[in-house]
């Protein structure tokens, strides 16, 4: 599984992930305690090569300061000299275009400077230059491409404020026009943002909408996209929707086998094969932990998945012995006792444990009664608001 980062071209038309996306993922792995030291030696070498090939002086400086890379004053000076020389050339091209050429050439010259700042990792200068380029841009599609560049920068630095504002900006642009291809790509960007900020329900909806139109290879390969779609769907969809939209989806069936444990994870849950589900789940844990977007939510996701699977098992019973449940999941009675106690205390499961008899008794809430109580409460609230309003009007 490859994580993600910031970019260089707006779309992965060649089917390749952006170089800066791969670099962001490797930087994440270098800071990860579960990656062994031997692997980190190779990753560190890859990071240094990527930084040198794109003259990423600001990133090299910060990585050297934090001890990720060895300090090298000579290398840093060389990179800075090359950056200064390239910016001088780009400024000359802008001046020449403004003096001798048309508006589109002026825009292209400004865009080239923006992309150079993106390439060398000058975040603030890149954002500033993209704004200048936007001022020279008329076409909605080209303005959208500038937003995608900004989104890629946001993803590289995990700047969620920048990502959120850019998504809002893109939606406003689409109100003025815009093509379906870019609209569909934006859904994947927004879905990734939602997943990275723990809004799994919205991420699921956006990912499922994009399954048959996926073209955002600059963010991640298609099998990684399916990995994210299945993981978010399992904790967001009810059983019927999961069957229709995920288990039987031809686009998912075509690639799910490429991701280790994912097919078993999905199908064993749907087919109530709980032992197999736990085996597949433990196999997927490593991939979730080593994903830069999912890792911060690892413990939360673990809890949510277990809530789903325990609820599904208990749905079939009014009461069931702890031994039968432990046997179904391939774990000990003590483990099930501890697990369920935590989930019941947190209000995640509607059942109670009879320790003496070793039995679980479900006490699912009466949905009709709950709806009635909710309606009464909302009615009282509305009446109070109307009374307050009438007093204000009388005054």
| Model confidence band, residue 8 (pLDDT cutoffs 50, 70, 90) | very low
Q: What is the mean pLDDT of residues 311-320?
A: 88
pLDDT at 195: 97
pLDDT at 114: 96
pLDDT at 200 over 60: yes
Contacts of 94 (CB under 8 A, 6+ apart): 106, 109, 110, 113
| Model confidence band, residue 5 (pLDDT cutoffs 50, 70, 90) | very low
Higher per-residue confidence, 44 vs 386: 44
319 DSSP β-pair partners: 361
Q: What is the mean pLDDT of residues 2-18?
A: 55
pLDDT at 4: 45
Q: What is the mean pLDDT of residues 236-255?
A: 94
Distance CA 161, CA 169 (A): 12
| Model confidence band, residue 364 (pLDDT cutoffs 50, 70, 90) | low
Prediction pTM value: 0.86
CA-based end-to-end distance of the chain: 65
pLDDT at 220: 94
Mean pLDDT of the chain: 90
Q: What is the DSSP pairing of strand 319-321 with strand 351-354? A: unpaired
Alpha-helical (H) ranges within 292-366 are 298-315, 322-329, 333-345
pLDDT at 7: 38
pLDDT at 367: 61
pLDDT at 368: 63
The number of beta carbons lying within 10 Å of the beta carbon of residue 340 is 21
Distance CA 52, CA 93 (A): 25
Q: What is the mean pLDDT of residues 374-380?
A: 80
pLDDT at 216 over 70: yes
| Model confidence band, residue 388 (pLDDT cutoffs 50, 70, 90) | confident
pLDDT at 395: 55
Write the pLDDT tens digit of every residue in 42-65. Answer: 999 999 999 999 999 999 999 999
Question: What strands, in cross-sheet order, belong to the sheet with 359-362?
Answer: 319-321, 359-362, 351-354
Q: Which CATH architecture has domain 16-169?
A: Alpha Horseshoe (1.25)
pLDDT at 21 over 90: no
pLDDT at 50: 94
Which residue pairs, CB below 8 angstroms and at least 24 apart, start in 278-283? 278/329, 278/330, 278/331, 279/330, 281/305
Distance CA 14, CA 27 (A): 24
């Amino acid at each position: 599984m490859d994580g993600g980062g910031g970019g260089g071209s707006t779309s992965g038309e060649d089917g390749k992930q952006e170089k800066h996306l791969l670099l962001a993922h490797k930087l994440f792995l270098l800071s990860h305690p579960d990656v062994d030291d031997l692997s980190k030696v190779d990753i560190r070498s890859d990071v240094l090569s990527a930084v040198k090939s794109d003259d990423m002086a600001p990133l090299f400086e910060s990585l050297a300061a934090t001890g990720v890379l060895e300090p090298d004053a000579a290398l840093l000076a060389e990179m800075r000299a090359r950056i200064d020389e390239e910016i001088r050339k780009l400024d000359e091209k802008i001046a020449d275009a403004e003096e001798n050429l048309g508006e589109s050439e002026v825009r292209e010259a400004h865009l080239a400077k923006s992309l150079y700042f993106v390439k060398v990792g000058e975040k603030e200068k890149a954002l500033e230059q993209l704004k200048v380029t936007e001022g020279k841009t008329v076409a909605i599609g080209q303005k959208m491409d500038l937003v995608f560049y900004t989104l890629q920068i946001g993803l590289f630095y995990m700047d969620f404020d920048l990502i959120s504002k850019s998504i809002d900006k893109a939606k406003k642009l689409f109100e003025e026009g815009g093509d379906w291809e870019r609209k569909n790509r934006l859904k994947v960007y927004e879905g990734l943002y939602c997943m990275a900020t723990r809004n799994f329900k919205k991420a699921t909806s956006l990912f499922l909408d994009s399954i048959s139109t996926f073209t955002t290879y600059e963010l991640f390969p298609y099998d990684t996209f399916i990995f994210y779609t299945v993981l978010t769907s399992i904790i967001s969809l009810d059983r019927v929707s999961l069957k229709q939209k995920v288990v039987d989806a031809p686009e998912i069936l075509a690639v799910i086998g490429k991701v280790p444990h994912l097919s078993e994870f999905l199908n064993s849950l749907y087919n109530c094969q709980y032992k197999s589900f736990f085996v597949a789940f433990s196999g997927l844990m490593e991939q979730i932990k080593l994903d830069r977007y999912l890792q911060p939510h690892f413990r939360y996701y673990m809890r949510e998945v277990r809530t789903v699977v325990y609820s599904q098992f208990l749905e079939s019973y009014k009461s069931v012995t702890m031994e039968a449940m432990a046997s179904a999941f391939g774990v000990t009675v003590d483990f099930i006792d501890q697990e369920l106690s935590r989930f019941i205390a947190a209000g995640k499961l509607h059942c109670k444990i009879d320790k003496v008899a070793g039995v679980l008794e479900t006490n699912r809430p009466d949905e009709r009664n709950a709806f009635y109580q909710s309606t009464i409460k909302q009615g009282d609230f509305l009446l109070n608001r109307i009374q307050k309003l009438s007093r204000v009007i009388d005054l």
